[in-house]
C-alpha cells in the first residue's frame, strides 16, 4: 500500500535561515511525488513535483525538494525562509499505480512557522 | 494557468437543508475531478473521484446517497450534500486534473467552509 509520512507536526525557523520540511514515502514501483502548501481557509497550492530525471526539483516561491531513492525521502527545502512562508505543507504521492483514478495519498501536513 | 474556482466559499444553513458546491476549471479541461474533506488540523480525506461523463467512484465509508457528485462537463463538477446535519460541517475542497497522464498535478480550489446549524 502507498503511504506518506511527515514526521514533524511543526517546524519553527527564524527568518533568513534555511528550512527543511521532511517527507518519506512508501510505494510500489516508481513514485510520483508532490508538495503542496495551504494557507488558512484556502485550498492547496501546487509547489513542485518529482516524476523522473534530476533528483533536485525546483518549484514555486524559491522552494526545492530532493528525491532520495535509497532513503525513500522527498524533503522540501528553501535556502532562506520568509515570514510569508508560514503555512501548512503537504507531501503527497500518487497512489494506485496502473489504475485510472490517479489518487493522491497525502501526508498529515507540517505547519511551518517562520519567526521574524 | 490551471485555475480552479470553487463556489461558495462559506455556507451556513439549517439542519436538513441540501447544499450544492461547484468546482470549475477555468482555463483547462479537467478530465478528472476530486472531492476532499478536511477536518481542523488534519490532512485531506479523499471522498470521491469523478471522471467527466461517468459515475463518481466513492471512497470506502463515504455515503454516495449523502454526497451526490455530478461531473457533467470537462469544466464543472458539483458536490451536493443532501439533508445536511451538523456532523457534515467541515471544509470541502475540490481539485481538478487535466490530461490523461498520471504525472499531472492536481489543482485545487480554495475550499468551501460548510457550517450546519
For residue A43, list chain B residues with Cβ-Cβ distance below 8 A. 4, 6, 93-95, 108-111
Q: Is the pLDDT of residue A96 over 60?
A: no
pLDDT at position A111 is 96
- Which residue, among B102, B107, B110, B114, would best test binding to A if mutated, counting the most A CBs under 10 Å from its CB? B102
* Each residue's pLDDT tens digit, A46-95: 999 998 888 999 999 999 999 999 999 999 999 999 999 999 999 999 86
Task: State residue A27's pLDDT score.
Answer: 85
Q: Which residues of chain B have pLDDT under 50?
A: none
Contacts 24+ apart (CB under 8 A), B14-19: B14/B116, B14/B117, B15/B84, B15/B85, B15/B86, B15/B116, B15/B117, B16/B83, B16/B84, B16/B85, B17/B83, B17/B84, B17/B116, B18/B80, B18/B81, B18/B82, B18/B83, B18/B84, B19/B80, B19/B81, B19/B84, B19/B114
Mean pLDDT of A21-33: 90
* pLDDT (mean) for A6-25: 97
A32 to chain B: closest CA residue: B103
Amino acid at each position: 500500500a502507498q503511504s506518506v509520512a511527515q514526521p514533524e507536526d511543526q517546524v519553527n525557523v527564524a527568518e533568513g535561515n534555511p528550512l527543511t520540511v521532511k517527507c518519506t514515502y512508501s510505494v510500489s514501483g516508481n513514485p510520483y511525488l508532490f508538495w503542496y502548501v495551504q494557507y488558512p481557509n484556502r485550498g492547496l497550492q501546487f509547489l513542485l513535483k518529482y516524476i523522473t530525471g534530476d533528483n533536485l526539483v525546483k518549484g514555486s516561491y524559491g522552494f526545492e525538494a530532493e528525491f532520495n531513492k535509497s532513503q525513500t525521502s522527498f524533503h522540501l527545502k528553501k535556502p532562506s525562509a520568509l515570514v510569508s512562508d508560514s503555512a501548512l505543507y503537504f507531501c503527497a504521492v500518487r497512489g494506485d499505480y496502473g489504475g485510472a483514478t490517479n489518487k493522491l495519498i497525502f501526508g498529515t501536513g507540517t505547519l511551518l512557522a517562520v519567526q521574524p | 494557468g490551471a485555475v480552479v474556482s470553487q463556489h461558495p466559499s462559506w455556507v451556513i444553513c439549517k439542519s436538513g437543508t441540501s447544499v450544492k458546491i461547484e468546482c470549475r476549471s477555468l482555463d483547462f479541461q479537467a478530465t478528472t475531478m476530486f472531492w476532499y474533506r478536511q477536518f481542523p488540523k488534519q490532512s485531506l480525506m479523499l471522498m470521491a473521484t469523478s471522471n467527466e461523463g461517468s459515475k463518481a467512484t466513492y471512497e470506502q465509508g463515504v455515503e454516495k446517497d449523502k454526497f451526490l457528485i455530478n461531473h457533467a462537463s470537462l469544466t464543472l463538477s458539483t458536490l451536493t450534500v443532501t439533508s445536511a446535519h451538523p456532523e457534515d460541517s467541515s471544509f470541502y475542497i475540490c481539485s481538478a486534473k487535466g490530461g490523461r497522464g498520471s504525472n499531472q498535478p492536481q489543482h485545487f480550489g480554495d475550499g468551501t467552509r460548510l457550517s450546519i446549524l
